[in-house]
Structures are given as C-alpha cells and as structure tokens.
Amino acid sequence: MHKKHDLKHLIFFMGIVIGAPLAASGENFPVPKILESNVAFWKKIYTEVSTSEGLIHDYEYPLVIYKKLTVGSESSRLKSKIIDIEKGHIKALLTTITTQSDTAWTAEARDIVALFEKHASKEALAGAEERIRFQLGQKDRFKEGLYRSGAYLDTIKTILAQHNVPEQLAFLPHVESSFSPDAYSRVGAAGLWQFMRSTGRLYLKIDYTIDERRDPILSTYAAAKLLSHNFQQLQSWPLAITAYNHGLNGMKRAVAGTGSCDIAVIIQRHESKTFKFASKNFYSCFLAASAIASDPYNYFPDITFAPPLKYFDITIDYFIKPEVLASSIGIPLSQLEELNPALRAVVFSHNRLIPRGATIHIPQTVSLASVQQNLLNIPDSLKIKTPPRPEYYRVARGDNLYSIARRLGVSAQDIAIENNINRFNRIYAGQVLRIPEASALSLKGSVTEVAAAVKKDTTPVIQQPAVEKQQTIVPPKLEIIPDTIKEIIMATAESVPQQNVTPSARSGYAYKFDAEIYNFDASFSPEETRAVITISLNETIGHYAEWLAIPTQRIRQINGMGRSSYIRINQDLAIPATQETMEQFTRRRLEYHMAIEEDFYNQYKVTELKPKFIKRGETLWDICNQDGEIPLWLLKKHNKQMDITRLFPGMQIWVPVVEEKTDIDFKQETDKNWRGLFPLYLEPVPSAKPFQILY
C-alpha cells in the first residue's frame, strides 16, 4: 500500500521488484481458440496500421478485413464521410452476395466470399452487412507508448508484485492510455490507468486541485488494488481484466447469466446493452499488447525506451504557492509541473496553493540534504496554515472588470489573468469568475509586466445576451457570506437555440462554464438543519457525503432509502446542512463540475453540432455512445431546453461532434491568451444590477 511521508522519511523509487514469485503467464492468461483471431487483429492494429489509416472489418470476425483505408489527418466530419462511403460500397457487395447467384458476383464480391471462407465460414455471410466496422490504426501511438513505458515499467512491476498481481499486467496501460499520464477520454477517464472519477475516488484523492489519477505511481497503487479485488471476487484473471473495463458488477452478471467463468463462453453467450465490442475485445487487446511489449524488438526493431523516472517523494504540512516551492527547491516551475501531474493544471495556470499533505515528486538530481534545508528556510509567511477560501463571482449586466475589481478590492489585471480574459474571450453576463486573493499584486509578475505595457481601449467587455434571465439581487456586504442558498445559484443570461434553428458555431462551441445546466437549486427546512437539493448530472450520494464530510448512510436514512436504492437526475434529495456547511457543499459541488469541464476542454474541442431526431426506444445512453462517446453534460450543455429525463420519438436535439485538440489548437490558444490579454474593456452594458458573490 502506498504510504505518504514527512520530511524525515523521503522515499526514492528504485523499481526493485519484491513479493512472491508469480505464476507462469500461460496459467494466468490463456488464449481461447475463439479469441485467437481477435488477438491477431489487435496485433495488426498495434503494429501494422498507423493512426492515419484504418481497417474496415467484420465486427464478429475481425480478420475478415475488407479494406485498409487511408484517412490522413482530416477532420472527424470528413473522415466519417470517407468511411461511410466505403462502408456503403461494401454493404452493397454483401447484399449482392446474399441475394443473387454467384454468376452475378463481381471479382470484389468473390474476394469477400474467400475472406469469409478463410477466417469465418460461408454461413457467416448472413447478416454481415450489419456487422461492418471501422477501426483506426494505433501503430505510431503504440510505439510512442513503448518509449514512454521505460519511465514507469520497473516501478509498476514492483507495485503489482506487492499486491500479488501478475507482472504481465504491467502492460495493461498500453491498452488504456499508451502509457501517457496526460491521457483523458471523452467520458472523463484519466491517467495511465484511465480511472473514471467514480472508481478513482475509492482509492485516490480527486478534487479541484489534486487528481491522483494522473500520477503514474499513485494510480498504479490504485490499479493494483482494483485488479486484485476483481480477481478475489471472480477468481479468474481474464474476467478480472475484463471487469477493469466493463465493471465488476457487470462481470458478475455475465457469470450469473451464462453460468460460466470461462471468458470465451461469456464473450460468445453474454448479451447486454453495455457488453459490446470494446468490452468483448478488452481481454484480446491486453493479450495482443502484452505479447508485443514482451518482445518489442520483434515488432519495432528501432525502438528506444525512456530512462526510468527517478525522484524523491516529500509531503509538506502547509499550503504553498507552486512558484515558491519550485524556487525554494531550486528547480524550474515547469519541471515541478512535469513531475507532478496529480496537481491539476489550474494549480500552475492560476498559481493556486498546493494543498497541505499533497505528495510532491522532487527530481533525484536535487540533493536530498539541500531539499530538506531549503524547505526549512522558507519564510513562515509563505507557509500558509489556513488558506483563503476560494471565491467566485457571477457577472451581472452592467459589470466590467474595473467595477468588479473595485468592489472586491483586487486588481482588474489580476482578475483578467486569473480567468484568461482577453480580446478574444470577453466576460459575459452569467459568467463565473475566479477571484484572486486581494493581497496578491499579481499572480505572475512577468505576465503583469507585459500586460501593463500594452495600451488600453474602451471597447465593451460584456456580450449582449439574447434573453435576460431573472437574477437574485444580493446587496454588497463586508463579509462575503450568502443569506440564502439561492445566492449561490449561478444562472446564465444566454439564449438557447430553438429546436428548428441551427445553433451558432461562434457562440455554441466556445468553452463557457454554464452552471444553469447543473440544477444547483436548494432550499432550507424551517429549522435550517436540512436542505433540499436537486440531483444533477454526474452526481451520486457518495459525492454529497464527501462534500458534506458525512457517511452516505446518513443521507440514505434522512431520505428513507435502502442500500440498494438509487437516485435519478432532477429528483429532490434532503441533506443535513446548515448555512455554513451548505456554503462549503456548494463550493465543492461547483468545483467538481468545473474540474470535469476544464479537463475535457483541455483535451477536446467541439467542431460542430449535428441535428438528430429521437427514435422510438432510443435512450440518452444510446445517444451519448453513438459515433464516438460524449459525456452527458456536454449533450445537455448544447440542449439546455431539453428535459433529459423525458425523451420522445421525433424530438430534435443537437449532438456535439468532438475532436481531440491538435498542436495547432494549443498554439492558437496560447497566442490568443498572450497577444490579446489586454486591452481591458471598460464600458459597462446598461441596466446595471447589484453584484453577487458565489461559492
């Protein structure tokens, strides 16, 4: 079990393997006959087909490969068109084969029949037109993963051995993330081991400043515990590995439904809405990846590996700015950030405090003695015992940065820097701003110096909303403490596209945290010992208990819920709360949703919105998992008028098309944030209203 340490107990990860001898790979990871073709297919994907190519193949008989297709670096929309055209052509050939005599078959059709005779059977041609699938290649990505694995592999094997997990499972991150600590999926899985928040919270710390899923070492301890637990419950490594993707309860249902613990039987017989291609192929992907990684030079003769990552771990018993810690230890801030991916990007981009008790990785190149001495030499004034409470401000009509800054006693430039406000990214009514500490002259001196040298103009900053929402009026106070929970609600003042109108690309795709989609309404009981909240997206009883620092059972008891009871979106739920605890609850709730959106938009962009009409029997799960997964909150974000609990046939919604950001995207964002940081826009929009502080 991973242990955190104080300054007297610094640990250096040497990668020494300890633990009991492991069983032979064949005993733990059999290759059933029916999976041999799947394993061969994934080896081909990982070693022969690049990410600019892909294979059109049969869903159930993957070695029935119709065509290798070059898709290049085109946009998702163009790629989809190219793929759809080829799929349509193949479908037409299959229809000809199954409906006409062989005398009418073309040479292409005969080649397809030969494919089935070799890798499946002629009888498998029935229904083949419904099993056509495209798989993007992974050769270059897998090779990059092999290189990156050199930094972590020895330590991962050490940790797995400590938990009696077979050494071969050290290769599982090839399937999950290509050994990238920065990997982040569309639905929110993060890090080397691709933990979802719900699972990661069982083993790791995850909040607005810390996300230990991104730490290769801490997340490996969590993965070892999860894999070990899966095996203890299922007594089969193939099932334990599949449960890593499909969920432990899902695999228990599969075992119960098929009456078998044989992975081959389960893949053949288990029917479930969620047990589809990815889950059925997860074990095969692992077998293929581990075979390649065990003999890398056979597949990539020129492969090189990153040197093992070596560092010390320290734990500090105070809050501290990252710039202060880096300069005190004597390393660049960028190196501190690179070595500590568990510290979320906001810690460095906004110079937030590193929390007390966080595990900090320090490069081995720094002397242990100097680290200890330098930390002791940090002035007490920079070692913060009780950090200031994070504050958030909702922009009202009539506001500008200078008026907000005057009221809150901070610098307008600091607010702009804190929120990346520039000529391309203006503030707008309903926006939630982070408020920097009033005592800080700037968050980053170099940025402020550059910004101050740029001439200001007077262009209005707030964009006019199409619809003015009702806002709660909150009088200014000396102490920023809300009188009612309603003051904490962050309503937006932006219009929503009508169902028969195509949303604007300019306003529809830019990232804006819109708290309106999360239903933050709450009301107190007359005695103010309970509050009633509305269940929102991505929330569980476990979240509420964590934000209130109480057991989940207490919330269940108040609501008369049993252990098997579940909650639904838009359902009312009573929680024990006072004004004081509710402020903390709402702040943590807000930061939870902000973190999810920030992480998503750091990696992905929405390129277009496609209109879609709901079909009979179609669910939200179906919509979010069609043509590439998208998170439910993103669907709601672009359909704010839609009641996601009440879908009906013929209902029109807008489905966002998501693509990974490219290096060009990242460069453009950086250029905009620097070139356009100032001028600040000073003229207020008419109809000013009193300001609001939010938590």
Question: How far is it, in rounded angstroms, from Cα 89 to Cα 95?
Answer: 10
pLDDT at 433: 82
In which domain, by residue range, is 122 found?
52-136
Question: How far is it, in rounded angstroms, from Cα 19 to Cα 72?
Answer: 46
pLDDT at 666: 77
Considering 579, 598, 617, which residue would you say is the last residue of a domain? 598
Q: Are residues 119 and 150 in the same domain?
A: no
Task: Write phi, then psi, for 524 (nearest 5 degrees).
Answer: -90, 155
- Residue whose structure tokens are 């489905």: 655
Q: Which sign does the torsion angle of CA 156, 158, 163, 167 carry?
A: positive
pLDDT, tens only, 352-362:
899 998 889 99
Torsion of CA 415, 210, 585, 479, to 10 degrees: -30
Question: How far is it, in rounded angstroms, from Cα 692 to Cα 490?
Answer: 9
Residue among 450, 465, 438, 436 at smallest CA distance from 640? 465
> Alpha helices of 201-344 — where are they, by DSSP H?
216-234, 237-246, 248-258, 263-269, 277-294, 296-299, 322-329, 333-339
Burial call 49-86: b when 16+ CB within 10 Å, e when fewer: beeebbbbbbbbbbbbbbeebebeeeebeebbebbeeb
Q: How many CA atoms lie within 13 A of 446 on its CB side?
A: 3
Paired strand residues for 694: 392
Give domain status of residue 685, yes or no.
no
Q: Are residues 571 and 423 in the same domain?
A: yes
Give domain status of residue 454, yes or no.
yes
- ∠ CA(317), CA(322), CA(325), 5° rounding? 60
Q: Give the residues of the chain that fall short of pLDDT 50.
A: 1-25, 438-509, 674-695
Give domain status of residue 671, yes or no.
no
CB count within 10 Å of CB 552 equals 17
Residue 381 is given by DSSP the state G
Q: Are residues 544 and 530 in the same domain?
A: yes
Give domain status of residue 670, yes or no.
no
Burial call 185-224: b when 16+ CB within 10 Å, e when fewer: bbebbbbbbbbebebbbebbbbbbbbbbbbbbbbbbbbbb
Question: How far is it, in rounded angstroms, from Cα 468 to Cα 495?
Answer: 8
Q: Is 514 helix (H, G, I), strand (E, B) or coil?
A: coil
Domain count, the chain: 4
Residue among 478, 396, 376, 479 at smallest CA distance from 690? 396
Tokens of 254: 């599969």
pLDDT at 20: 32
Q: Are residues 295 and 405 in the same domain?
A: no
Q: Are residues 96 and 156 in the same domain?
A: no
pLDDT at 580: 82
pLDDT at 544: 95
Considering 582, 598, 614, which residue would you say is the last residue of a domain? 598
Residues 6+ positions from 52 with CB-CB distance below 8 Å: 70, 71, 72, 73, 137
Tokens of 155: 């330590």
Q: Are residues 126 and 146 in the same domain?
A: no
Question: How far is it, in rounded angstroms, from Cα 358 to Cα 342?
Answer: 9
The CATH number of the domain holding residue 262 is: 1.10.530.10
Considering 572, 598, 624, which residue would you say is the last residue of a domain? 598
| Phi-psi label, residue 326: left if phi above 0, alpha if psi -120 to 50, beta otherwise | alpha
Give domain status of residue 239, yes or no.
yes
Residue among 74, 68, 108 at smallest CA distance from 91? 108
Task: Write phi, then psi, for 553 (nearest 5 degrees).
Answer: -60, -30
Q: Are residues 257 and 120 in the same domain?
A: no
Q: Are residues 149 and 234 in the same domain?
A: yes
The answer to whether 439 touches 465, Cβ cutoff 8 Å, is: no
pLDDT at 413: 82
Q: Are residues 405 and 524 in the same domain?
A: yes
Residues 6+ positions from 107 with CB-CB distance below 8 Å: none
Question: How far is it, in rounded angstroms, from Cα 646 to Cα 653?
Answer: 12
The answer to whether 152 touches 192, Cβ cutoff 8 Å, is: yes
Give domain status of residue 521, yes or no.
yes
Question: How far is it, in rounded angstroms, from Cα 115 to Cα 124?
Answer: 11
Q: Are residues 460 and 582 in the same domain?
A: yes
Give domain status of residue 687, yes or no.
no
pLDDT at 323: 93
pLDDT at 525: 80
Torsion of CA 261, 265, 269, 274, to 10 degrees: 60
Q: Are residues 364 and 443 in the same domain?
A: no
Give domain status of residue 564, yes or no.
yes
pLDDT at 451: 27
Q: Are residues 475 and 579 in the same domain?
A: yes
Task: Write phi, then psi, for 655 (nearest 5 degrees).
Answer: -105, 120
